[in-house]
Structure 1
Amino acid sequence: MNPAFWGVLDELVASSKVVIDRLKGSAHPRFPENIYPLDYGYLEGSTSGDGQGIDVWLGSGDPNQLTAVLCTADLKKRDAELKVLLGCTPGEMQSILTFLNGHPSFQSLLVPRPQKET
Structure 2
Amino acid sequence: MQDLLNNGYFWQKIDSLALSTNIVISQEKGSRHPQYHNMVYPVDYGYLGDTESIKVFKGSVKRSTIDAVMIVADILKRDLEVKLIWGCNEEEELAILRFINQTDYQKGILVRRGNTMPEWAITD
Structure 1 length normalisation: TM-score? 0.89
Give distance in 1, aligned partners of 2:34 and 2:89: 26
- 1:114 Cα offset (Å): 1.2
Would you say the 8 A contact 2:8–2:116 is kept in 1? Answer: no
Residue 102 of structure 2: aligned partner: 102
Which runs of at least 4 in structure 1 moved beyond 3 Å after TM superposition?
none
Mapped partners of 1:14, 1:65: distance in 2: 8
1:41 corresponds to which residue?
Answer: 46
The residue number in structure 2 matching 1:78 is 78
Partner residue in 1 for 2:8: 3
Following superposition, the deviation at residue 116 of structure 1 comes to 4.6
- What is the CA–CA distance in structure 1 between the aligned matches of 2:20 and 2:110, rounded to whole Å? 24
Corresponding position of 2:92 = 92
SS, match of residue 12 in structure 2:
helix
Amino acid at match of 1:23: E
Q: For 1:97 and 1:60, locate their aligned partners in 2 and report how far apart those are by CA, in whole Å.
A: 16
Paired letter, 2:18: V
For the aligned residue pairs, the C-alpha RMSD in angstroms reads: 1.4
The one-character-per-residue Cα deviations of 1:33-90 (angstroms, maximum 9, x if unpaired) are 11111000000135xxxxx330001111124321110001011111001000111111
Percent identity between matched residues is 38
Instruction: Give the number of the structure whose alpha-carbon radius of gyration is greater.
Output: 2
CA distance in 1, matches of 2:13, 2:115: 17
**SS of equivalent residue, structure 1 residue 41:** strand
RCO greater where, 1 or 2, for CA within 8 Å and sep 6 or more? Answer: 2
Task: Give aligned pairs, total.
Answer: 112
Counterpart of 1:19 in 2: which secondary structure?
strand
